[in-house]
């Protein structure tokens, strides 16, 4: 993929993340309260989750450039959103999300995020801390 296309795709995915994140936030915090609202925002929540799961679909980078740190920051955000959705009971690692139009393998997407952060952690100490924090949260969640 040429660099202009890669950067443009990154911007597009970043905008989608900002656009759909509030719906995922609402679903994580209120999914068991108002079924009418939940039903109306479900397609938007699916888009947010698909965006979070998108790191397995070619957004991952393996060469350093001016946007590498920003990509790591976005991947960290996706991993945290997946953990929040999992903790709230909205998703599970072992089955596709209910009503999803495409199969979203959240466990694989989460592992790709961890692997990508691990790949880049020698470049920046904050990437190490982000990966460690995400893994600690996952481990605590799995312990309960």
Q: Which residues contact 84 (CB under 8 A, 6 or more apart)?
A: 24, 28
pLDDT tens figures, 33-59:
778 787 889 899 989 998 888 755 444
Share the mean pLDDT of the chain.
Answer: 83
- Tell the burial category of 48 from Cβ atoms under 10 Å away from its Cβ (0-12, 13-18, 19+): buried
Q: What is the DSSP code (8-state) at residue 124?
A: -
Q: Which residues contact 108 (CB under 8 A, 6 or more apart)?
A: 56
The structural domains of the chain, with segments of one domain joined by +, span 3-143
pLDDT tens figures, 61-83:
666 766 788 888 989 999 999 99
């Amino acid at each position: 993929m040429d660099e202009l296309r890669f950067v443009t795709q990154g911007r597009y995915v970043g905008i989608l993340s900002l656009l759909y994140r509030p719906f995922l936030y609402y679903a994580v915090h209120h999914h068991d309260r108002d079924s009418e609202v939940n039903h109306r925002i479900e397609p938007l929540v699916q888009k947010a989750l698909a965006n979070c799961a998108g790191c397995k679909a070619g957004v991952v980078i393996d060469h350093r450039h001016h946007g590498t740190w920003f990509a790591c920051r976005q991947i960290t955000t996706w991993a945290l959103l997946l953990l929040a959705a999992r903790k709230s009971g909205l998703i599970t690692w072992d089955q596709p999300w209910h009503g999803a139009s495409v199969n979203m393998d959240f466990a694989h997407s989460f592992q790709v995020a961890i692997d990508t952060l691990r790949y880049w952690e020698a470049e920046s100490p904050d990437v190490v801390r982000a990966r460690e924090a995400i893994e600690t949260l996952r481990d605590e969640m799995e312990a309960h």
